[in-house]
Structure 1
Amino acid sequence: MYTVLTVTLVQVLVGIFLFVNCLIIFTFLKKEVFREDTRYILFAQTLFVDSAFMVVNDMLLIWYGYQYHIHIIPCIIISSAVTLLYICTPLTLVAMCLERYVAICMPLRHADISTSRTRCFGFFVIWGISSIAPLFTVVAYVSMIPSDALFSYAVCTAEVMLGEEWLAQVRALIFQILFFCMIIIILFTYIKIMIAARAASSDNKKSTNKSLRTVILHAFQLFLCMIQFVIPYMEMAFWNGDVMLFINVRYANFVVFMLVPRCLSPLIYGLRDEKFFIVLRHYACWGFDNLSQTLPIQSKSRAG
């Protein structure tokens, strides 16, 4: 049902996205200074989650385009994984904003708060909250359908478990509550950092203003991620209409609201962070530039 040009274009975009992410993750793993910094660890998790989400979602997009039927149990697992990754990215963005808030507004306590134990607890909270919606959907769906339906085959989509209207509404309510809580946290960190920026000395003002811009970029990225929560309900309006129109809408939503927001993370930290960008450029150039001469000079620079 997809044209060859459409499929090829999507695969090229996804391929470029994955290549950039893999290069940045490789850069993160090669330097111990990055592996011990909370903001870089959260950044790496964002890249990992986005890459996994993009691969699985791209696979679902192709399956739907060619109407490929799979067993319902693997479909449930895949759809649940997509929802889990779907929620994990904005929650990680919120955690990154909180980390910037602690670094700017509580610099003397930053080292005590940003410890390995705190990071492990933070990851537990992120993945735990991300699991609420998919776990509820799976339990509710399995408890409602006949047992023989678990052995059937279907075209796997994210809406395969949303046949009941009340289930879709409860799932949407969970997303709305998460969205409201994340917006409150983002606004809180933005206001606090903005106050700190106005009160900062001239020496710290540049770093504080950069952190403020980072929070703004994360807020914009979060807004695009939140739009993804309502995409399935936007697409349902075209469900009973022209099939090709529905497919074109789904393709456009995939590119604009799923691929584009996930391209912002490499830009926010991979290119704007001077220290990280120097190391990234070193590996992107296959080590032909002299890293030892440039890194010490820039190592004290802080990303926003």
Structure 2
Amino acid sequence: MSRTAQTNTTTGDALLHRVMLGTVTSVPCCIFLFINVTMLFTLRSKAVFRESSRYILLFNLLVADTMQITLGQILYILSVCRTRLSYPVCGVLVMLSNITIEVSPLTLVVMSLERYVAVCQPLRHATIITITNTALAIMVVWAISSLNILVHVLLMLDFPFEDLDTLQMKEFCTSHAMFLGPMSYDYDRAFTCLVFVSAAAVIISTYIGVMVAARSASTDKASARKARNTLLLHLVQLGLSLLSTIHNSVVGSIARIVTRPILLIILNTLYVLVIMLPRCLSSLIYGLRDKTIRPVLLYHLCCRLKLKAGVSP
């Protein structure tokens, strides 16, 4: 009888622990998703946002970030619930997640080039940065990310799935669990390094170009200063995105030197701060910095309540 009671107590404690872990991440996730979805709605609410290349690129960045938050939370909840998926289902979730990871830095590159043209080639900006060219750039970004996933699929085809007794995974569904061979891991690391190094090089180059142009007497100083600050922001966002890609490696290293309870605390903290929060910063920073977006965003965030006499859009 006591053994049964002890088993029930252990089971109850385990269930309570899982609920707590899920709650700790789900609450911030819901807040971040609310902010991002509100920002996405804001960017589609007015013609000035829908017809400006700058805001269209921001919308694309937020779509990728919102998808990443959602998919990351789904995978996290599945692991907390100790749910093991089949290889095909896990593969689809991981592929969608990986696409969005690569879209963010590539979109930041396009946004940086748009700011560079706006400052350094102001007379040609309307000709170069058109809605058509912006849409084409976005399609190229998604195509590059999708091509990366296609290569991963081709590498996975070499894995002998027919030798497995079942397609049910023995591990929880993560990106690393889908690296079914050393070649997949090496390729992913090489591609990630190529994307982030190239993105950093482009953003730094555009920043230097804007600084040089700012010294010219014909350049609008205020516009150049704003562009320079925006490019610095892009560089910070790129660094935060890079942190999210090395999250698993960092956790793996920490796991070797700390106990499990401490590891769980560190794991949840890093997940919220490194994986989820950076994906929400774009909405907060751009929404509050941009004088055109700010009143509309605050209007929608406050559920369309009348804030002050000059705040409603």
Q: Normalised by the size of structure 1, how large is the TM-score? A: 0.88
Do the aligned partners of 2:18 and 2:80 also contact (CA within 8 Å) in 1? no
Q: Which moved more, 1:147-156 or 1:177-186?
A: 147-156
Do the aligned partners of 1:172 and 1:229 also contact (CA within 8 Å) in 2? no
Aligned to 2:5: none
Deviations 1:207-257 (A, max 9, x none): 221111111011011011112222233334467886556544442332222
Which residue identity lines up with residue 127 of structure 1 in the other structure? Answer: W
Aligned to 1:189: 206
Matched, 1:288 2:303: no
Bigger radius of gyration among the two? 2
1:126-275 aligned at under 5 Å gives the runs 126-147=141-162, 149=164, 151-154=166-169, 155-199=172-216, 204-237=220-253, 247-275=264-292
> What is the distance in 1 between the residues matched to 2:173 and 2:260?
16
Structure 1 residue runs without a partner (length 5+)? 296-304
Of the candidates 40, 61, 67, which is equivalent to residue 55 of structure 2?
Answer: 40
What is the deviation of 1:148? 5.6
Structure 1 residue matching 2:85: 3-state secondary structure:
strand
Matched, 1:107 2:122: yes
Do the aligned partners of 2:306 and 2:312 also contact (CA within 8 Å) in 1? no
Of the candidates 90, 100, 125, which is equivalent to residue 140 of structure 2?
Answer: 125
Q: Which moved more, 1:27-36 or 1:245-254?
A: 245-254
Cα pair distance change 1:243/1:146, threshold 3 Å = farther
> What is the distance in 2 between the residues matched to 1:246 and 1:115?
49
Deviations 1:110-167 (A, max 9, x none): 1111112211220121011112332222221132232364952122111122142232
> What is the distance in 2 between the residues matched to 1:48 and 1:135?
21
Of the candidates 52, 69, 72, which is equivalent to residue 67 of structure 2?
Answer: 52
Of the candidates 98, 113, 135, which is equivalent to residue 83 of structure 1?
Answer: 98
Structure 2 residue runs without a partner (length 5+)? 1-13
Do the aligned partners of 1:76 and 1:161 also contact (CA within 8 Å) in 2? yes
Deviations 1:159-193 (A, max 9, x none): 12214223211210111111111111011110011
Deviations 1:242-291 (A, max 9, x none): 65565444423322221121122113311100011122223334152588
Cα pair distance change 1:289/1:67, threshold 3 Å = closer
Which residue identity lines up with residue 119 of structure 1 in the other structure? Answer: T
Q: Aligned pairs, how many?
A: 294
Do the aligned partners of 2:296 and 2:312 also contact (CA within 8 Å) in 1? no
> What is the distance in 1 between the residues matched to 2:115 and 2:234?
11
Do the aligned partners of 1:101 and 1:192 also contact (CA within 8 Å) in 2? yes
Please report the RMSD computed on the Cα atoms of aligned residues, expressed in angstroms: 2.5
Q: Normalised by the size of structure 2, how large is the TM-score? A: 0.85
Do the aligned partners of 1:238 and 1:245 also contact (CA within 8 Å) in 2? no
Do the aligned partners of 2:299 and 2:306 also contact (CA within 8 Å) in 1? yes
Do the aligned partners of 1:21 and 1:266 also contact (CA within 8 Å) in 2? yes
Which residue identity lines up with residue 44 of structure 1 in the other structure? Answer: F
> What is the distance in 2 between the residues matched to 1:245 and 1:158?
23
Of the candidates 282, 290, 294, which is equivalent to residue 277 of structure 1?
Answer: 294
Which residue identity lines up with residue 89 of structure 2 in the other structure? Answer: P
